[in-house]
A and B are shown apart, each in its own frame.
Chain A
Amino acid sequence: MKILVVEDEPSLREIIRTSLLKEKHIVETADTYRSALLKIEDYDYDCILLDIMLPDGNGLELLKQIKSLKKRANVIIVSAKDSLDDKVDGLNLGADDYLAKPFHLAELNARIRSVARRNNYEGNDFISLGNVRLFPESREVFVGESALDLGRKEYDLLYYFINTPERLINKYSLAELVWGDHIDQADSFDFIYAQIKNLRKKLKAAGSDYEIKAVYGIGYKFVKGNSSE
């Protein structure tokens, strides 16, 4: 995928770029409203990550430009403001997703994949990885032909895993997914552990190609199952 990162903070821009390059994306960056606009006018992108606060303009204005230029790029707004108004405005203006800073790189990757999938593979209303198929509309999951009975949170976790295969997801980003924002994080890891354990068991019992692998005590990876096992 060809992605444009519009972000004025150099350090953050570099990290996002490095992380996206790892995913084999083609990454371009812009640090101001003007330079971003020039790039958008001249080139086509599959996805644009848009910071709302830019030194010489507002990201939402840029979003309007993108839409008026009839670009078919997916837009994900990235904002430090974490304000509901921005989120609502952004989505109303046609943004595909909204991500509040600070975010986890794994989360960003998952969002990009999910947005791209939603818009680019029309007709295909499911996400598949190996023999695991996930239907976001109905929140159903199939392994091969058999349906998997998952709890709500188990489904959310699987959705996250399936969008970021082969990458380390640390426990914190999972905890955030399970709990949402603004909640005291007391002892949440025990429960993450229990949830993952259940999910793992269910996937294994259904004969999934992919499995959740624990990476030392720090997180998990969704990887292709070891055939020797």
Chain B
Amino acid sequence: MKLIHHISYRMLIALTLVLSVWAAFFYTAIMDEVNDEVDDSLEDYADIIIRRSLGGDELPQDKNTNNQYYLTLISASEAAATPIISYKDSMVYIQEKKETEPARVLDIVYRDSLDRYLKLTVLTPAIEKHDLIEELRNWLLFLYATLLVVLIGCNVWLFKKSLKPFYTLMRWIDRYKLGSSHEPLNNHTNVTEFKRLNEAVIRSFERNEKLFEKQKQFIGDVSHEVQTPLAITIGRLEMLMEDETMNERQLEELYKAHRDLEYLTNLNKSLLLLAKIDNSQFTDLKLINMGELLSQYLPDYQEIYSLKEIDVKVEKKSDFTVYMSETLASVLLTNLLKNSFVHTPEHGAIHINIDQNSIVFSNTAEEGALDGDKIFRRFYKREGKGSSSGLGLAIAMSISKQYNLRLSYSYQSGFHRFRLERI
């Protein structure tokens, strides 16, 4: 969810709550005020009638007002049971209009000069509350909609306007790739927070860059330094192995030591290669036709793996050419090729499909799908593949990245598919 959506959504909820509560208060306040006014006028009217009735004057026969009154004679006990003054809302039949309408009713109990208890009921038609509520609701809805549109509009505008440096920064971070060249951050702003954010991001990236450099340097240095002692030790073992006085058991032990050192040597070579790829130290760039390069290596592999009787099919729709280092192109293709041959079971099949933008290696899978995330990691080894350094695919991935190629794995109906394509 985008931040602006998030904010708008929250505002919608908040606004609904606030306006509902406000509408309730508003309604109550208005009704109170209206009732108050009506009650006052009823009271005045009742006063006149009571005064006149006590004074023996003629009671008003006013046809011009909507006000009505009744005088009822009640017993003393009844009078004692009813409050002297009481207001209520009720539905009343209005004779003039010949219909039932809501009315405000005032009952007053008083005693006349003859010591009789009289109840005066004064009533006046009241406001139609339903109408009022409906009207109120309509206007509130209108207000709500208007407020919403205006507020959200303002918000979006303010948001876009004031968060511009933030989005610029975000785009820059998205484009940023550790260890490769990048454009400087051009993000001028007067807002302190954004200024500090810019600075913090740049500072942190510079630190990462330095660490990355150091790490690369370290791997390169170590691999390099390790080479000579390795060469010497291996040489000594080889000389010892040529000694005719050695018996088989001794030779066996020497061979094992030699084997492990060889493994170390290969590992070291691969690490050095990775370091060199990441440092872009290969400069023999030219336009490489992948299909042609492949056809140089394929016969060797078919020969070496002839024992497995693998069915190899190459389908070439058009040329796939990449401008890259020839050395690395060879390493890339041979690693993928070897990977296919090694992991194809006997009598399996390898299909290589080449088109204008990709080359796909598919091979019969021994078991199910592989973990697509893990297989490209350094030192990832599947069980039972002990002598592998687990760097072959990592190297292939590193080379692909260097030349803006995408190397991906998928599993499809019993086939592992390694797809190398132009991005």
Interface residues of A (CB under 8 A from B): 9, 11-12, 15-16, 18-19, 22, 80-85, 101-106, 151-154, 167-168, 170, 172, 178-191, 194-195, 215-219
Contacts and interface: CB of A to CB of B under 8 A. Distances in A.
Contact of A184 (B242, B327, B391): B391
B387 A185 contact: yes
Given A182-B335, A182-B395, A218-B255, A15 B387 contact: no
29 contacts: A12-B231, A12-B235, A15-B236, A15-B239, A19-B235, A19-B238, A80-B227, A80-B228, A81-B224, A82-B269, A84-B283, A101-B227, A153-B304, A170-B241, A170-B258, A182-B331, A182-B395, A183-B331, A184-B390, A185-B389, A186-B342, A187-B342, A191-B305, A194-B304, A194-B306, A216-B251, A216-B255, A217-B252, A218-B258
Contacts of A85: 283
Contacts of A194: 304, 306-307
A105 B238 contact: yes
A193 B270 CA distance: 24
Given A84-B282, A172-B258, A182 B234 contact: no
B224 A80 contact: yes
A85 B327 CA distance: 12
A191 B304 contact: yes
B8 interface: no
B113 interface: no
Interface string B347-390: 00000000000000000000000000000000000000101111
A191 B307 contact: yes
Interface in B115-168: none
B281 interface: yes
A183 B273 CA distance: 11
Q: Nearest 8 pairs between A and B by C-beta?
A: A102-B231, A184-B392, A186-B388, A218-B255, A15-B235, A172-B262, A151-B303, A11-B232
Contact of A185 (B231, B239, B242, B388): B388
A12 B387 contact: no
A152 B238 contact: no
B255 A170 contact: yes
A153 B327 contact: no
Contacts of A106: 238
B284 A84 contact: yes
Interface of B: 224, 227-232, 234-236, 238-239, 241-242, 248, 251-252, 254-255, 258-259, 262-263, 265-266, 269-270, 272-273, 281-284, 299-300, 303-307, 327, 331, 334-335, 338-339, 342, 385, 387-392, 395
A187 B235 contact: no
A194 B273 CA distance: 29
B268 to A, nearest CB: 8
B273 A22 contact: no
Nearest to B386: A186
Nearest to A106: B238
A172 B241 contact: no
B332 to A, nearest CB: 10
Contact of B385 (A104, A187, A216): A187
Contacts of B252: 216-218
Nearest to B259: A172
B200 to A, nearest CB: 40
Contacts of A183: 331, 334-335, 338, 392
A195 B304 contact: yes
A123 B251 CA distance: 42
Nearest to A18: B239
A215 B250 CA distance: 13
Contacts of B263: 185
Contact of B266 (A104, A185, A218): A185
A184 B388 contact: yes
Nearest to B395: A182
A182 B273 contact: yes
A170 B238 contact: yes
A137 B57 CA distance: 147
A182 B393 CA distance: 11
A182 B338 CA distance: 11
Nearest to B385: A186
B303 A187 contact: no
A103 B238 CA distance: 11
Contacts of B284: 84
A180 B241 CA distance: 24
Nearest to B305: A191
Given A80-B228, A152-B299, A186 B242 contact: no
Given A80-B224, A85-B283, A194-B307, A102 B230 contact: yes
Nearest to A108: B235
Contacts of B255: 170, 216-219
A202 B285 CA distance: 41
